[in-house]
Chains A and B, each alone.
Chain A
Amino acid sequence: MSVTKDTQLELHRMMMLIRLFEEALEEMFSRGLLHGTMHLSIGQEATAAGACLALDKKDLITSTHRGHGHCLGKGADPYKMFAELLGREDGYCRGRGGSMHIADLSNGNLGANGIVAGSLTISVGAALSFQLQKKENIVLCFFGDGAVNEGSFHEALNLASLWNLPVLFLCENNQYGMSMASEKAVAGESIASRGNSYGIESIQIDGNDVEAVYESVSTFKDEILSNNRPKFIEAVTYRYRGHSKSDRNLYRTSEEINFWKDEKDPIKRYIGKLLEQGITEVDLKEIDEEVKNTIRTSVKKALDSPLSPITNLEEDSYA
């Protein structure tokens, strides 16, 4: 399959949007504007952008605590995301969910999740709904390398396989849980082999190659719908920042971080590839400027928007 030029520009734009969104949050946090911590996905833009852009609006995703990229990838409005992190009424969750729990149901994002592996079984249930409703859509379940050791991961894969559910399990293996390297946490051959052990076709890909992610997800989506079988992708990537804002990166070396930043950065690599294929620097710069303006406008608007009013929270706990 070859990716069209329009899609290529979209992929670049989405990665830039995610990168600058996260960097803007970093700056706002440094200025003391944000309450609570954040789990930034800087360095992992290709998995979110490549996977989400390969889906339709009616395909669903479930996301993780490191989910800003997934949310943007599925079409979220950065203004409403900034507003959510700032506790504003216009936030996706009216300020009640925050960074780890942003959901955007209108765009098919069933939500980020603060529990590692918390959304695997939820994605199975959503896929069951699609099966019962005879829909031609899939559920893409994002999770990290930390999740593959939780019991719910195994229960979810087992059941999706037994019941032929339309789930695409996508592991963003950034090689560290919080501080534990995945090689110390994951027994067995590889994360992808765990999918195979449940009878689910599984592949391992370079998660920092955005077109590889895009093509794998597109292909697997078609196969899920035509074969009525779930699928599994392990996308190898890397996060530049600590797990959260309290992480001092004692568990890895700056050499390792710099290697991934300099040699394997998904955005740099893709720019190189696009330029080789004839896309001009001017095209790319235009996109970058538009994204910067979108971010700046969104942040300013969010800062100026009203706080979520104090309501009866006990009543709000119930529908």
Chain B
Amino acid sequence: MAKENILLPAMSDQMSEAELLSWKVSIGDKVNKGDVLCEISTDKVDMDLESPYSGEIINLIANEGDMINVGEPVAEIETEEDSLLGSIFD
């Protein structure tokens, strides 16, 4: 089991930041890969942010209303899955 950060991904080529509108999960929730974690708003459109891992949410790092940059962590998850490239970027 490892703790992984869930980062705000770039969802289009031009995106550099987004506002976190609302959390759809709480600390302690078990999620599957692909489940919606929160709703974010970019300058173009509102979108759902999906979990890249299955596991348990152990920390919500960003708050509703925060502006977050692409690449910054929004939540932490404990997961059995091993990140494909994580070791390269740690």
Residues in chain A within 8 A of chain B (CB atoms) = 20, 23-24, 27-32, 35-37, 245-246, 248, 292, 295-296, 299-300, 303
Contact = CB atoms under 8 A, between A and B. Distances in A.
Contact of B13 (A20, A37, A299): A37
Interface string B64-90: 000000110000000000011101110
Leading 9 A-B pairs by shortest Cβ distance: A30-B9, A246-B12, A32-B10, A32-B70, A27-B85, A300-B88, A32-B71, A37-B13, A31-B71
B27 interface: no
Nearest to A23: B84
B21 interface: no
Contacts of A292: 84
Of the listed residues A23, A27, A245, A296, the one surrounded by the most CB atoms of chain B closer than 10 A to its CB is A27
Contacts of A246: 12-13
Given A20-B84, A296-B85, A299-B85, A29 B9 contact: yes
Interface in B7-49: 7, 9-13, 16, 45, 47
B88 A299 contact: yes
Contacts of B7: 30-31
A28 B85 contact: yes
Nearest to B82: A292
A295 B82 CA distance: 14
Contacts of B83: 27
By secondary structure, the A interface counts as helix
Contacts, number: 49
A29 B10 contact: yes
B39 to A, nearest CB: 13
Contacts of B71: 31-32
Contact of A245 (B13, B16, B70, B87): B13
Nearest to B9: A30
Given A30-B70, A36-B13, A300-B88, 13 more contacts: A20-B84, A29-B9, A29-B10, A30-B7, A37-B12, A37-B13, A245-B10, A245-B12, A245-B13, A246-B12, A246-B13, A295-B84, A296-B84
A245 B9 CA distance: 11
5 contacts: A27-B52, A27-B85, A32-B16, A246-B13, A296-B88
A58 B11 CA distance: 39
A29 B70 CA distance: 10
B88 A303 contact: yes
A248 B88 CA distance: 29
Nearest to B8: A30
A260 to B, nearest CB: 13
